[in-house]
Amino acid sequence: MTPAGAVTILYNFYGTNAGDSNGGLVQGSDGNLYGTTSYSFGGGCALTVACGTVFKITPSGVFTRLHSFDFTDGSLPNGLVQGSDGDLYGTTTNGGSSNSPNCSSGPGGIECGTIFKITPGGAFTTLHSFNHDDGYEPYAGLVQATDGNFYGTTFGGGTNGWGTIFEITPAGVLTTLYSFAASSGLSGYGPQTALVQDTNGDFYGTTQLGGSSAACNVGYNTGCGTVFRLSVGLDPFVKTLPAVGPVGSTVRILGTDLTGATSVTFNGTPAAFIVVRPSEILTKVPAGATPGRVQVITPSGTLKSNVGFFVP
């Protein structure tokens, strides 16, 4: 859709190919768009099971199905994120190959969900199958943090049975960072949304249930949910909006405690700037700038952008 409201249908999904696309789109570094669908019949998936697909579509509407899930490698995929290595990473709510008795056996069973990666060319790898002890049913996608690892949540499972926050490396090594508990529900439990990494380095998220409010107490569901923060010791950084722009274009730099900044550089090239507020700097891409990290020097230290800035 154009800013003026002119709509063009690029592609119509159909049941025998793919359907129910509810994970949104991500634009890859190649300029194409990538997404997921919740179901796709065939490709090893039983007709009674909604397994799903990963697809690519060009800005002009050329559609390619990159992968069809067969339940053993996942089912019901969520949104994608492109990693710094160029591959796409995501989660599936159901499916997987776990042998845990706490995960139903498929096809047709629930299983516990998976984490996967797929190249823009369609080479697919299951990085992890949840086994309930380390999580159960991730309802949201992943976020890649400044340390290069991916972070996410599961709705259930974990040590206490009510969801987890986890970290996974691009190679597939998973670490459970936190297990929610209904018995101590002040921290919340049952997270269903993706995490956000703030420029202070910490992660923020929400839970569906728990918290200190009694207004939503119904049966075993107590509380109305929470907003939480998790710190794993990652350093502060800055974020550019947008992350791409030609020489002379305006760029906003978001960060924490930017007051008193003395320098802004684009991959080493100095840029004029104005500190609009403690969390925002306004600048323009300087002449001679090349693709790379944006750096801001403040009285409290040097901050680098979480992703490289691209100068076309």
228-245 pLDDT, tens digit per residue, is 999 999 999 999 999 999
Show the domains of the chain with their CATH numbers: 25-230 (2.120.10.30), 239-304 (2.60.40.10)
Backbone angles phi, psi at 37, to 5 degrees: -125, 155
Spatial CA neighbour of 113 closest among 167, 55, 153:
153
Q: What confidence category does residue 14 fall into, taking pLDDT thresholds of 50, 70 and 90?
A: confident
Per-residue pLDDT, averaged over 255-259, amounts to: 95
Split at pLDDT 50, 70, 90, the class of 48 is low
Q: What is the pLDDT of residues 279-292, one digit of tens each?
A: 999 999 999 999 99
And the tokens for 177?
A: 């960072």
- Quick: pLDDT tens for 107-152: 555 789 999 999 999 999 999 999 999 999 999 999 999 999 999 9
According to the model, what pLDDT value does residue 311 have?
Answer: 93
**d(C-alpha 296, C-alpha 238), whole Å:** 8
Query: Coil, helix or strand for 273?
Result: strand
Residue 44 has pLDDT above 70, yes or no: no
- Render the burial of 237-252: b for 16+ CB within 10 Å, e for the rest: bbbbeeebbeeeeebe
